[in-house]
């Protein structure tokens, strides 16, 4: 962090450098005052005065595994400022080398049950942050004054018993949202024969994918899905519940396409038992699209109108999903598998509802999303694949520092 400020501090000053320090310090102050009403138990409010908030940098920590050399796991720890721009948007955009800092990368061979390497490194990270929190680090402002900045740990992204920050991406996009889209699609293809009744099931899947591919090309959406099939939706063997369908990013793309397809389904041509199911699927899909579009359209804080809209849509998503699971089960169909992540999604909605009820605004759950973190881990993991096992941690960090320098030079004009 000291080195970042020595080179202009762009990562921690909204991407604009020290020339905009005073303006960004005002943003930091306002953020802490607003956040205090939603999370008043943070120790920082007892340790420092309100005037100090101008120089307190809220940070989040993230840790997850990537695929290292020979596809073996490698644990990657990083940290990031929550405020990365002057517009109040969540840390979800831009090159990850410009808004995240690597702490360490450890091959799986170093964190076996009997090995204490990972525990020692985590303790070192905690010690470093505690020292910076207590003593801070001095920074010279453009007008020649010295100020002391301190990083403040706000949460661990993903899930943890202490200061749990639920990640909506893993809850929905890589969670039950895949089941939702797969079930809706298979019902349209198999039960409703929306894409034609000719041929076997695979022929119907092929026609559905042709429609999906055309829509992606027309709307300029990218997808990793290369075809629809029983294998793609993991329906083979004893596992009859449709699930999966591409990567996490594809959940949103597939959901948006299904929105257009559901709008064209003619319920007057369906069997009576399918009419209500299709109507509820339309209701659920519309609520899902509204929920996520509301969150992405707003910044770190959701004001009352946006928060109430998200809460209403969020409850509708869960209610409709549970109803569809019940309705299809009564027909002895295996669709809309109920998972614990459906319950976790309810906690996300409930948290927004409680905050807006108490204070009139809420923290946007997208703050804790790990889309960019997953991208960052992929980049570090790829760099580690070229390193020898014995020197992997240090060489990966050294290679990453070179990449940081190249990105900072290109984006921030650092020599």
Q: Which residues pair with 152 in a beta bridge?
A: 58
> In this structure, are residues 110 and 99 in contact, taking their beta carbons and an 8 Å threshold?
no
**CB within 8 A of 144, min separation 6: which ones?**
none
- Measured distance CA(247)–CA(249) in Å, rounded: 5
Low-confidence ranges of the chain (pLDDT < 70): 158-164, 237-239, 415
Residue pair 65/106 in contact by the 8 Å Cβ criterion: no
Q: What is the pLDDT of residues 372-391, one digit of tens each?
A: 999 999 999 999 998 888 89
Q: Report CA-CA distances (Å) from 223 to 85, 99, 172, 177, 227.
A: 28, 25, 17, 16, 10
What is the structure's pLDDT at 388? 87
Is the separation of the CB atoms in 288 and 317 below 8 Å? yes
**What is this structure's pTM?**
0.89
Cβ contact 224:246 at 8 Å: yes
Q: Let me know: does 107 contact 92? Beta carbons within 8 Å.
A: no
pLDDT value at position 161? 46
**Distances, alpha carbon 164 to alpha carbons 62, 66, 90, 169, 360, in Å:** 12, 22, 18, 15, 23
Q: What is the pLDDT of residues 303-323, one digit of tens each?
A: 999 999 999 999 999 999 999
What's residue 233's pLDDT? 92
């Amino acid at each position: 962090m000291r080195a970042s400020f020595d080179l202009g501090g762009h990562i921690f000053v909204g991407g604009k450098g020290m020339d905009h320090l005073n303006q960004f310090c005002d943003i930091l102050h306002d953020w802490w005052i607003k956040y205090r009403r939603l999370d008043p138990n943070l120790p920082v409010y007892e340790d420092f005065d309100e005037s100090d908030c101008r120089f307190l940098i809220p940070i989040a920590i993230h840790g997850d595994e990537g695929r290292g050399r020979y596809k073996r796991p490698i644990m990657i720890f990083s940290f990031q400022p929550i405020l990365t721009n002057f517009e109040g948007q969540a840390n979800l955009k831009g090159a990850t080398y410009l808004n995240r800092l690597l702490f360490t990368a450890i091959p799986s061979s170093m964190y076996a049950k009997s090995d204490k390497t990972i525990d020692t490194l985590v303790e070192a990270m905690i010690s470093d942050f505690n020292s910076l929190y207590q003593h801070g680090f001095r920074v010279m402002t453009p007008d020649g004054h010295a100020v002391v900045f301190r990083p403040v740990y706000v949460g661990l992204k993903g899930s943890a018993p202490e200061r749990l920050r639920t990640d909506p991406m893993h809850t929905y996009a890589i969670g039950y949202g895949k089941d939702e889209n797969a079930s809706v699609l298979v019902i349209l293809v198999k039960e409703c024969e929306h894409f034609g009744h000719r041929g076997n099931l695979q022929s119907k899947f092929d026609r559905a994918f042709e429609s999906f591919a055309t829509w992606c090309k027309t709307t300029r959406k990218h997808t990793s899905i290369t075809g629809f099939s029983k294998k793609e939706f993991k329906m083979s063997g004893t596992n009859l519940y449709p699930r999966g369908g591409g990567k996490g990013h594809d959940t949103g793309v597939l959901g948006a396409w299904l929105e257009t397809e559901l709008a064209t389904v003619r319920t007057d041509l369906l069997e009576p038992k399918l009419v209500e199911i299709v109507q509820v699927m339309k209701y659920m899909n519309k609520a899902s699209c509204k929920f996520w579009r509301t969150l992405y359209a707003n910044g770190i804080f959701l004001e009352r109108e946006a928060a109430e809209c998200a809460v209403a849509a969020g409850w509708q998503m869960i209610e409709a999903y549970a109803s569809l699971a019940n309705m299809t089960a009564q027909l002895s169909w295996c669709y809309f598998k109920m998972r614990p992540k459906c319950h976790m999604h309810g906690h996300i909605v409930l948290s927004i509802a409680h905050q807006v009820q108490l204070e009139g605004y809420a923290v946007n759950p997208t703050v804790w999303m790990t889309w960019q973190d997953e991208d960052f881990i992929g980049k570090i993991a790829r760099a580690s694949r070229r390193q020898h096992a014995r020197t992997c941690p240090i060489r990966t960090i050294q290679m990453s520092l070179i990449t940081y320098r190249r990105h900072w030079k290109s984006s921030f004009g650092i020599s």
